[in-house]
Amino acid sequence: RRFGLGLSDCDELAASATLGSLFEGMLYAFPNSASQTKPAPRTSTGPELRSWFDHAGVLIGRPAPGSKCRMGVALKGGHNAEHHNHNDVGSYVVVLGERPVLLDPGAETYTARTFSSQRYESKLLNSFGHPVPVVAGQLQRPGRDGQAKVLEAKFSDLVDTLKLDIRSAYPCPDLKMLERTFVYSREGAGSLTVTDRVEFASPQSFATALITKGGWRQLDGRSLVVYDLDEAVRVEISAAGSEFTIQAEEIHEDAPVQPTRLGIVLTQPVTSASVTMAITPMDLPEASAGGNLLRNGGFEYGTWCWSLPQGCQGSLSDERVASGKWSLKITDHDAKVGSNVSSALIPVSGAGAFMLRGQAYHVSGRGVGLYIKFFNAEREMINPRGSSTRNSTCMAGYS
């Protein structure tokens, strides 16, 4: 109420608060600046195009309602002495639909190391696990001295530009300049362009990175497709000053997310260079003609449109295939827990009769269970486990 946010669901203190803690009772009983302020009218009809937190150096960019743009972004300047800090000056997230296709992987499971002098040994808490540069072989330093300076923040209905000086985040004496520029466009399906410009006093190594918890494929020498279940982006990479290579590494820490780091590494030391990543939504091929609604049912595009979480007991294999190069191999080695591989949602236009068929090669055991989940338009499951409408099938041999 004090800040006039118009959040009517939150600007009244319920009388039941007097029955809670002493602190809640005092808030209710004694006047304060908030209780003396009239509630602000509800003015917002939905998220605005952006949220700009100038003191923190954080920009949230959103598509215009009703537009064809389907990409949203979160761009971070900040510093490396924040509460529960990660060394992540210059980090960013790219979201398509409900999927953070390129992301900041978040926190690890808290242990004694997390709150010790070894905190930044974690590849999720240090800058290696974030989509930021590695400069002369150095990761970002912790502390307030590692701080982004906002050089430009220019916003319009179609394009938002955020330019940061992130030089101070790196303990490199020869580093003369390091600027990162984000350009978020709402035109068409949306795009984000990330450009790093670097200068050294003497030739030094330079690299940057993309982070994903999904899958990826290199399309050619300068472009990648990165996907998370049923959403994908194309990343076009260009570099001046040196050629580059892609170096992928899975990050394994005690954490809910085990992301993949796609390093973009200049092949030669440089005194000046730039690296640009142009990120756009990508529509991978739909299901084949003939009325098939299941996308990538033959696994031609790897795990795209399939969820294979950690411990799911499933993996892609070329040992035995029905068509193409890949098949799904399930090895159930746990008597209590089964496989947990699932497809992305299969959109249907309305009521009708549908057939699910495929091929399975049965090696041992009693078969493979298939469960079909049904969702309404709000993506709420309407046949939860144990309901009579949850289908189950066992397949043995080829069928």
pLDDT in tens, 140-173: 999 999 999 999 999 999 999 999 999 999 999 9
Total Cβ atoms within 10 A of residue 358: 13
* Residue 290 pLDDT class (50, 70, 90 cuts): low
> What is the model's pLDDT at position 397?
42
* The 3-state secondary structure of the chain, one letter per residue: CCCCCCCCCCCCCCHHHHHCCHHHHHHHHCCCCCCCCCCCCCCCCCCCCEEEECCCCEEEECCCCCCCCCEEEEEECCEECCCCCCCCCCCEEEEECCEEEECCCCCCCCCCHHHCCCHHHCCCCCHHHCCCCEECCECCCCEEEEECEEEEEEECCCEEEEEEECHHHCCCCCEEEEEEEEEEECCCCCEEEEEEEEEEEEEECEEEEEEECCEEEEEECCEEEEEECCEEEEEEEEEECCCEEEEEEECCCCCCCCCEEEEEEECCCEEEEEEEEEEEECCCCCCCCCCCCCCCCCCCCCCCCEECCCCCCEEEECCCCCCCCCEEEECCCCCCCCCCCEECCCCCCCCCCCCCCCCCCCCCCCCEEEEECCECCCCCECCCCCCCCCEEEEECCCC
Q: Which two tokens stand for residue 132?
A: 């930021």
With CA atoms as reference, report the closest residue to 184 among 102, 126, 127: 102
- Residue 30 and residue 46: Cα distance in Å, rounded? 34
Lowest mean pLDDT among 254-263, 301-310, 322-331, 367-376: 367-376
* Per-residue model confidence (pLDDT) at position 35: 67
pLDDT mean over 298-323: 88
Give Cβ neighbours of residue 371 (< 8 Å, ≥ 6 apart): 390, 391, 392
| Mean pLDDT rounded to a whole number for the chain | 88
Q: Is the pLDDT of residue 17 over 80?
A: no
Which pLDDT value is given to residue 354?
83
Beta bridge partners of 343: 306
The architecture that CATH gives domain 50-281 is Distorted Sandwich (2.70)
Residue 396 pLDDT class (50, 70, 90 cuts): very low
User: How many Å from the N-terminal Cα to the C-terminal Cα in the chain?
Assistant: 63
User: Is the confidence at residue 288, as pLDDT, over 60?
Assistant: no
Residues of the chain with CATH 2.70.98.70: 50-281
For the beta sheet containing 191-204, the strands, ordered from the edge strand earlier in sequence to the opposite edge, are 149-155, 159-165, 175-185, 191-204, 270-281, 231-240, 223-228, 215-220
pTM: 0.82
pLDDT surpasses 90 at 18:
no
- Mean pLDDT (whole number) for 166-186: 98
Q: Residue 9 class from Cβ within 10 Å (0-12 exposed, 13-18 middle, 19+ buried)?
A: exposed
∠ CA(264), CA(267), CA(268), 5° rounding?
130
Report pLDDT for 367.
73
- More confident: 87 or 39: 87
pLDDT surpasses 50 at 399: no
Task: Judge whether residue 37 has pLDDT over 50.
Answer: yes
Which has more confidence, 238 or 32? 238
For 40, counting Cβ atoms within 10 Å of its Cβ (0-12 exposed, 13-18 middle, 19+ buried), the class is: middle
pLDDT at residue 199 greater than cutoff 90:
yes
Q: How far is Cα 224 from Cα 343, in angstroms, rounded to an integer?
A: 23
Residue type, 25: G
Highest mean pLDDT among 34-48, 135-149, 307-321 belongs to 135-149
Least confident of 49-53, 84-88, 253-257, 378-382: 378-382
The set of residues, in sequence order, having a beta carbon less than 8 Å from that of 49 and lying 6+ positions away, is 61, 62, 64, 155, 157, 160, 186
User: For 259-281, how does the pLDDT look when each residue is reduced to its tens digit (9 = 90+)?
Assistant: 999 999 999 999 999 999 999 99
| Tokens read off for 176 | 């003369």
Name the amino acid, one letter, at 291. G
Give the burial string for 143-157 (b: 16+ CB within 10 Å, else e).
eeebbbeeeeeeeee
- The residue with greater pLDDT, 25 or 84, is 84
* Distance of alpha carbon 199 from alpha carbon 95, whole angstroms: 31
Task: pLDDT band for 398, please (50, 70, 90 cuts).
Answer: very low
